[in-house]
C-alpha cells in the first residue's frame, strides 16, 4: 500500500482587527496518514479529537478534500482509501480544525497522485482549492505556509498571501473552553454594513498589529493593536464567557482576542505580561502556551509497503 503522512498546524484567524485577513500558525498539530489500498471503499480511523463523532466514510472532511483535489488535478479517483487521523486540534473552538483537515486532504491527494498530475498541481493551486472549500483564506493560509500570514482575494476571487515572521518573544497562549461554536452561526451575527469610523478604526489597528507582532514586543502597542470593532462586539452575546475573559485580560494589560469565530481566546504573552494571564482565567478554561509554527503543513513523501 502506498502511504503518505501529513502534519498540519492549528491556526488562529482574525487576531482581533484583521477580520478575514490575518492568521497565525500554532504549534498544535493534527497528523493524517493516507493510503491507496487498491481495494474498493473508504476506511477512516480517528484518534483523539473527533473520535466517535465524525463521519468515517466519504463524508469525512479529509476524504472530501482528497476527492476534490483528485478532481481538480484531473487525476483518476482511487477506489480504495485508508485514513488514520490523529487529531489534537479541538473541534469547533476557533483553532482551524476544518482548515487543517482540508489542507491535509488536498496535500495527501497531491502526494499520492501520479507524478504527471501532481507536478501540474502547484502550491498556489492547493491554496486556491483549500480557500474555496473553506470559503475564506484566513485559516488555510497559515496552515499551509506557517508563520503570520496576510491573505486576500483579487478581483477574480483568486486567493493570495504574504507570510511574515513574528518576533519570537511574542508567545501565543490559547485559552480553550469546553463549549463549542459554529463559524457559520457566528458569521450570521455580523451586520451587512458597519459605520465608516469602525472600518477606519480596524484598518489602522490591523496595520499596527503587523508592526507590533514583527518588531520588538511592546505590550502597550500590542494592546492597542488588537482592538476590534468589526466582529467581536457583534458575536459577544452568544459567547459571553469568551468576551468577559477577553475584557478581564485586556483590563490588566494582556493583549487578548477571540480566536477565529471562537469561543477560544488567544492572548499574546510577552516577558512583561506572561505572569498576568493565569490569575484571570478560571477553572473552565484549558491554558496552553504555544509557539508560532514557522513551517506550516509538512508532507512526508509516500513510500510503498
Name all domains of the chain by residue range, CATH numbers in brackets. Answer: 2-164+292-304 (3.30.230.10), 171-289 (3.30.70.890)
Task: Give residue 302's pLDDT.
Answer: 61
CB of 172 within 8 A of CB of 189?
A: no
Taking all residues of the chain, what is their mean pLDDT, rounded to a whole number? Answer: 94
Q: Give the model confidence (pLDDT) of 226-237 as tens digits.
A: 999 999 999 999
Task: Give residue 182's pLDDT.
Answer: 66
* 303 pLDDT higher than 80: no
Residue found under cell 503587523: 210
Task: Give residue 204's pLDDT.
Answer: 97
Task: Give residue 218's pLDDT.
Answer: 87
Q: Give the model confidence (pLDDT) of 191-208 as tens digits.
A: 999 999 999 999 999 999
* 90 pLDDT higher than 70: yes
* 298 pLDDT higher than 70: yes
Over residues 212-232, the mean pLDDT reads 93
* 305 pLDDT higher than 60: no
Share of the chain above pLDDT 90, in %: 85
* 161 pLDDT higher than 90: yes
**Model-wide pTM > 0.85:** yes
Q: How many CA atoms, within 13 angstroms, populate the side-chain half-sphere of residue 249?
A: 31
State the pLDDT confidence band at 272, using cuts at 50, 70 and 90: confident
CB of 160 within 8 A of CB of 127?
A: no
State the pLDDT confidence band at 89, using cuts at 50, 70 and 90: very high
List 80's β-bridge partners, or say none.
41
- In the chain the first and final C-alpha atoms are separated, in Å, by 5
Q: Give the model confidence (pLDDT) of 54-74 as tens digits.
A: 999 999 999 999 999 999 999
Over residues 241-253, the mean pLDDT reads 96
State the pLDDT confidence band at 216, using cuts at 50, 70 and 90: confident
Question: Minimal CA–CA distance to 143: which of 96, 177, 200?
Answer: 96
Q: Which are the contacts of 156, defined by CB distance < 8 A and separation ≥ 6?
A: none
Task: Give residue 183's pLDDT.
Answer: 64
CB of 80 within 8 A of CB of 37?
A: yes
Residue found under cell 516577558: 271
Over residues 19-41, the mean pLDDT reads 94
What are the CA-CA distances from residue 125 to residues 40, 107, 158, 199, 219 (Å)?
Answer: 28, 11, 10, 31, 38
**177 CB burial (10 A radius; 0-12, 13-18, 19+):** buried
CB of 149 within 8 A of CB of 60?
A: no
* 38 pLDDT higher than 90: no
* 47 pLDDT higher than 70: yes
Q: Give the model confidence (pLDDT) of 107-137 as tens digits.
A: 999 999 999 999 999 999 999 999 999 999 9
Task: Give residue 152's pLDDT.
Answer: 97
Task: Give residue 184's pLDDT.
Answer: 65
Share of the chain above pLDDT 70, in %: 96
Q: Give the model confidence (pLDDT) of 170-182 as tens digits.
A: 999 999 998 987 6
CA separation for the pair 99, 43 (Å, rounded): 21
Amino acid at each position: 500500500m502506498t502511504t503518505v503522512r501529513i502534519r498540519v498546524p492549528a491556526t488562529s484567524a482574525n487576531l482581533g482587527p484583521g477580520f478575514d485577513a490575518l492568521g497565525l500558525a500554532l504549534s498544535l498539530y493534527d497528523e493524517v496518514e493516507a493510503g491507496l489500498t487498491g481495494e474498493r471503499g473508504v476506511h477512516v480511523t480517528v484518534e483523539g479529537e473527533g473520535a466517535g463523532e465524525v463521519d468515517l466514510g466519504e463524508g469525512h472532511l479529509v476524504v472530501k478534500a482528497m476527492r476534490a483535489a483528485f478532481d481538480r488535478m484531473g487525476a483518476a479517483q482511487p477506489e480504495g482509501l485508508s485514513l488514520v487521523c490523529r487529531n489534537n486540534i479541538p473541534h469547533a473552538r476557533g483553532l482551524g480544525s476544518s482548515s487543517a483537515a482540508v489542507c491535509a486532504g488536498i496535500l495527501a491527494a497531491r502526494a499520492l497522485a501520479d507524478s504527471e498530475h501532481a507536478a501540474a498541481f502547484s502550491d498556489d493551486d492547493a491554496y486556491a482549492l483549500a480557500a474555496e472549500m473553506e470559503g475564506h483564506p484566513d485559516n488555510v493560509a497559515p496552515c499551509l505556509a506557517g508563520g503570520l500570514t496576510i491573505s486576500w482575494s483579487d478581483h477574480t476571487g483568486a486567493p493570495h498571501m504574504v507570510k511574515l515572521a513574528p518576533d519570537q518573544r511574542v508567545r501565543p497562549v490559547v485559552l480553550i473552553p469546553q463549549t463549542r461554536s459554529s463559524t457559520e452561526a457566528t458569521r450570521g451575527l455580523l451586520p451587512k454594513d458597519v459605520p465608516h469610523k469602525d472600518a477606519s478604526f480596524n484598518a489602522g489597528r490591523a496595520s499596527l498589529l503587523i508592526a507590533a507582532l514583527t518588531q520588538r514586543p511592546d505590550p502597550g502597542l500590542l494592546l492597542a493593536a488588537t482592538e476590534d470593532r468589526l466582529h467581536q462586539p457583534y458575536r459577544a452575546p452568544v459567547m459571553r464567557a469568551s468576551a468577559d475573559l477577553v475584557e478581564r485580560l485586556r483590563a490588566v494589560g494582556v493583549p487578548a482576542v477571540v480566536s477565529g469565530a471562537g469561543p477560544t481566546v488567544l492572548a499574546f504573552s510577552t516577558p512583561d505580561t506572561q505572569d498576568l494571564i493565569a490569575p484571570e482565567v478560571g477553572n473552565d478554561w484549558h491554558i496552553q502556551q504555544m509557539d508560532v509554527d514557522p513551517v506550516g503543513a509538512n508532507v512526508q513523501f509516500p513510500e510503498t509497503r
